[in-house]
Amino acid sequence: MSRFPRLLLAPALALVLAQGAVAAPLDLGREATPEEVAAWDIDIRPDGLGLPAGAGSVAEGEEVFFEKCAVCHGDFGEGVGRWPVLAGGQETLDSDDPVKTIGSYWPYLSTVWDYVHRAMPFGEAQSLSDEEVYAITAYLLYVNDVVEDEDFVLSQENFAQMRLPNEGGFFMDDREESPVFARSAVCMSDCKEAVEITMRARILDVTPEEDEAGVEESGEGAAAELAAAPAEAAAVVPAPSPALDPILVASGEKVFRKCKACHQVGEGAKNRVGPILTGIVGKPAASVEGFRYSKPMMQAGEDGLIWDHESLGAFLANPKGYMPKTRMSFAGLRKQEEIDAVIAYLTSAAE
């Protein structure tokens, strides 16, 4: 019981004891029980020490995540509102706007498991079973492309074998060994003959622009501006080649995993959260029978929107920007090559 020899003492009494003012023990408190120690001792080390027995699959994690996590983090870890983004962000850490996620920044999978187990879901901390935590962690590996098999099962046995992409980006802090810390004395006055400015803070220009009335653009005005986006966004999406590239199609099938939670394609496909996408390329918007579309999508179909490569590419890049008030929660695909690949896959699925 070395970690928890006694329950908490009043700080003042502890100080008195430390100063030796009281020679005899006060016999306050009691030794913690094994159950009490176990309730506190829940940390998980990077090598897996502390993990409980259990396992969970990507498919199981998807269901639990949708039920208990997606309201804040989005269906695919893309984040909702100001809640944290959990997926994506690869190759952004050296940019002006880095996206720090499990797949781009976090060094160890143990941190993911420990935090989900210790603090999630928000407002219901430690309500998840060990199997649910394993399953959610497996799903987060999947949406971050750390594992590719949707049948993957994470368990106590294979946990220590998992490696996050940015593990090598972390190293031990060696600043105390640097020449700056090695100096015997630090100058406190008259250290330099003259003070000069060597650099200036860079202006980031991140403040939202205001209209003439001094009010930040929002609501119907912003929606109207976004509604004009399709033509501009479509202009930058190149048309596909007549013959489908099998490598591009295969890549698109992999990227489509981000869509499979809501959409199905191929024989036997059914409407889910989103409509069937079999044969979507070349079809009018809101044309899948039996699916209840949002009003903006219905209106787009009535206005003659056709899902060709340009319009579909613009929508996939920024769904809510292309079609304000769409019910599609996915934030969009950032890379043009992923957009082209998904469209190639959807085109092939109709052939």
Q: Domain locations in the chain?
A: 11-40, 55-169, 227-349
- Whether residue 139 is predicted with pLDDT greater than 90 in this model: the reply is yes
pLDDT at 188 over 60: yes
Complete DSSP assignment for 174-189: -GGGSHHHH-S----S
Q: What is the pTM of this model?
A: 0.51
Q: Where are the alpha helices (DSSP H) in 69-120?
A: 70-73, 109-119
Closest CA to 218 of 210, 229, 206, 228: 210
* Token pair listed for 305: 């929107």
Pair 83, 329: CB distance under 8 Å: no
Q: What is the pLDDT of residue 190?
A: 81
Do 314 and 230 contact (CB within 8 A), yes or no? Answer: yes
Q: Above 80 in pLDDT, residue 238? A: no
What would the mean pLDDT of 93-105 be, rounded to a whole number? 91
- pLDDT for 178: 73
Q: Quick check: 103 and 90 in contact, CB under 8 A? A: yes
pLDDT bucket at 316, cuts 50 / 70 / 90: very high
Other CB atoms within a 10 A radius of the CB of residue 310 amount to: 19
pLDDT of residue 193: 82
Of 154, 129, 157, 122, the C-alpha closest to 140 is 154
Determine the pLDDT at residue 23. Answer: 58
pLDDT tier for residue 222 given thresholds of 50, 70 and 90: very low
When the pLDDT of each residue in the chain is averaged and rounded to a whole number, the result is 81
Question: Which of 5-14, 274-283, 340-349 shows the lowest mean pLDDT across its residues?
Answer: 5-14
Q: What is the mean pLDDT of residues 301-319?
A: 92
Give the angle subtended at the CA of 141 by the CAs of 80 and 87, to the nearest 5°.
30
- pLDDT for the residue 21: 52
Quick one: pLDDT at residue 202? 73
22: amino acid identity, one letter: V
pLDDT level of residue 200 (50, 70, 90 thresholds): confident
Which of 25-34, 66-75, 97-106, 233-242 shows the lowest mean pLDDT across its residues? Answer: 233-242
Residue type, 161: Q
Highest mean pLDDT among 27-41, 50-64, 252-266: 50-64
For residue 24, what are the CA distances in angstroms to 11, 13, 146, 289? Answer: 18, 13, 58, 83
Give the pLDDT confidence score for residue 135 in this predicted structure: 97
pLDDT at 179 over 60: yes
Identical fold, 55-169 and 227-349: yes
Rounded Cα–Cα distance for residues 343 and 152 (Å): 26
**Three-state secondary-structure class, residue 57:** strand
The answer, yes or no, to whether residue 286 has pLDDT greater than 80, is: yes
DSSP H helices, the chain, are: 11-18, 34-40, 58-68, 70-73, 109-119, 130-143, 179-182, 219-227, 229-235, 246-255, 295-302, 309-317, 319-322, 336-349
Q: Which of the two residues, 157 and 234, has the higher pLDDT score? A: 157
The one-letter code for the residue type at 338 is E
The backbone torsions φ and ψ at residue 216, rounded to the nearest 5 degrees and listed phi first, read -60, 135
- Does domain 227-349 match CATH 1.20.120.450? no
CA 99 to chain centre: 9
Q: Which helix (H) or strand (E) holds 55?
A: strand 55-57
- C-alpha distance across the termini of the chain, in Å: 67
Q: What are phi and psi of 102, to 5 degrees?
A: -60, -35
When the candidates are 1.10.760.10, 3.20.20.70, 1.40.20.10, 3.40.1030.10, the CATH number that belongs to 55-169 is 1.10.760.10
pLDDT band of residue 261 (cuts 50, 70, 90) is: low
> Dmax over Cα atoms in the chain, in whole Å?
90
Q: Which residues pair with 57 in a beta bridge?
A: 153
Percentage of the chain exceeding pLDDT 70: 79
